[in-house]
Amino acid sequence: MNTKKKIGILTGGGDCPGLNAAIRATAKTAIQIGYEVIGIRNGWKGLIDDENETLDSFNTSGIIDKGGTILGTSRVSPFQVENGSQRVSDGFKKLGLEALVVLGGEGTLTIASQLFKMGLPVVGIPKTIDNDVKETDYTIGFQTAVQIATDALDRLRSTAESHHRVMILEVMGRHAGWIATYAGMATGADAILIPEIPLDGEKIEELCQVLKERNKMGKNFSIVVVAEGTKLEGKTIVEPGFDISRNERAGRLGGIGKLLGGIIERKTGLETRVSSLDYIQRGGTPVAYDRNLATAFGVKAVELIIDKKYGEMTALKGNRITSVPLQKVAGKTKTVDLNVYKIAEKFFG
């Protein structure tokens, strides 16, 4: 009879670079101390539908640099499936797991917190390009997304300069402007528009003024970064045909860049082009920072399990890897630190 203790790992919500590094670190650390590790496929769905595979030192090798998640992911919530939470609990018991490591963003971690309250022994690891999870300075995937957006902005600058255009780049981030702020600051953007600072008529006039002034000074191109969740006259812009009020969590934000491009061109008379990074900023190789953060979080998650500190999430505070109760994270959004934004703002225009 197999008497080894077992833990499960799942990845839920949108993927991001660094997930595989975290799976590797968690699995290898647990295997080293004698655990059997089960990879749950496609997020919560894998526990509901009994889809899983054993993770060993072979199938978790050589994946530290791979984007995406070897386990697959989904946005399925047990609370939106009939008897979902019961089926998750049954799936957990059937596998004989001692604990479950949940790699997720705010949505997945909120579900983990709710299931913990219902008795499931979970440990969370924060991951999302959006960096909007409370109680941790950074999430896995954020630095890679910032680097990808930075590279894109550098490229856009050269073509904007050649054609004397206003170039707008729309980046992801849901209802927080972290990617826009950090990539915009790294490239000296002339304006950074984020959900934390809603756009209204007055703000748009100010922006157009800045762009016209630059032009007058002979700086005949400009770079504007806009986060997808930036509100225009109090409204979040969503992809056509999508009603955000009906499905907020899976909501496909997007379109503010195009909308803004039209307004700017009309109001300033400056030739304007719009690009959107979309899913490119979520794919591919993680930067070293994300691999190392993922590795440290994976090791910490196993320590939490050994200490039976369930209901906790690994977190980065300053340079320290620590943990916080999932309850403090659930249902909340970490918005941009406006002190950081103010630094970027000094270089606008």
How many Å apart are CA 64 and CA 291, to the nearest integer?
Answer: 7
How many alpha carbons lie under 13 Å from residue 140 in its C-beta half-sphere? Answer: 38
How many Å apart are CA 290 and CA 326, to the nearest integer?
Answer: 21
Residues 245-274 that bind ligand F6P (CB under 6 A): 250, 252-253
Q: In this chain, which stretch among 96-104, 111-119, 154-162, 172-180 interacts with ligand F6P, using CB under 6 A?
A: 172-180
The residues, ordered by sequence, that sit 6+ positions from 186 with a Cβ below 8 Å of its Cβ are 146, 150, 153
Q: Based on the shown chain and the rule CB under 6 A, indicate whether residue 244 belongs to the binding site for ligand F6P.
A: no
How many Å apart are CA 63 and CA 297, to the nearest integer?
Answer: 16
Pair of tokens at residue 14: 């949108």
Q: In this chain, which stretch among 41-49, 122-130, 184-192, 233-241 interacts with ligand F6P, using CB under 6 A?
A: 122-130
Residues 299-338 that bind ligand F6P (CB under 6 A): none
> Which value, to the nearest 10 degrees, does the dihedral of the CA atoms of residues 242, 244, 247, 251 take?
80
**Binding flags for ligand F6P, 72-91, as an x/- string (CB under 6 A):** ---x----------------
Alpha helical stretches, state H, 248-337: 256-268, 288-306
**Contact residue for ligand F6P among 8, 84, 91, 173 (CB under 6 A):** 173
Q: Based on the shown chain and the rule CB under 6 A, indicate whether residue 175 belongs to the binding site for ligand F6P.
A: no
Whole-number CA gyration radius for the chain: 22
Q: Based on the shown chain and the rule CB under 6 A, indicate whether residue 172 belongs to the binding site for ligand F6P.
A: yes
**Total binding residues for ligand F6P by CB under 6 A?**
14
**Contact residue for ligand F6P among 282, 291, 300, 334 (CB under 6 A):** 282
Q: Based on the shown chain and the rule CB under 6 A, indicate whether residue 128 belongs to the binding site for ligand F6P.
A: yes
Nearer to ligand F6P, 135 or 228 (CB): 228
Q: Based on the shown chain and the rule CB under 6 A, indicate whether residue 227 belongs to the binding site for ligand F6P.
A: no
Q: Based on the shown chain and the rule CB under 6 A, indicate whether residue 280 belongs to the binding site for ligand F6P.
A: no
Q: In this chain, which stretch among 168-176, 180-188, 233-241, 326-334 interacts with ligand F6P, using CB under 6 A?
A: 168-176
**Binding flags for ligand F6P, 8-37, as an x/- string (CB under 6 A):** ------x-----------------------
Residue nearest to ligand F6P (CB): 172
How many Å apart are CA 241 and CA 183, to the nearest integer?
Answer: 30
User: For the chain, how are helix, strand and coil distributed in percent, rounded to 5?
Assistant: 40, 20, 40
How many Å apart are CA 83 and CA 193, to the nearest integer?
Answer: 42
Q: How far is the CB of 278 from ligand F6P (least distance, A)?
A: 9
Q: Based on the shown chain and the rule CB under 6 A, indicate whether residue 104 belongs to the binding site for ligand F6P.
A: no
Nearer to ligand F6P, 114 or 128 (CB): 128
Nearer to ligand F6P, 16 or 55 (CB): 16
Identity of residue 159: T
Q: How far is the CB of 128 from ligand F6P (least distance, A)?
A: 5
Catalytic sites, residue numbers: 130
The answer to whether 156 and 176 are in contact (CB under 8 A) is no
149 phi/psi in degrees, rounded to 5: -65, -35
299 phi/psi in degrees, rounded to 5: -65, -45
Q: Write the DSSP symbol of residue 68.
A: S
The answer to whether 120 and 163 are in contact (CB under 8 A) is no
Interface ranges with ligand F6P (CB under 6 A): 14, 75, 105, 128-130, 172-174, 228, 250, 252-253, 282
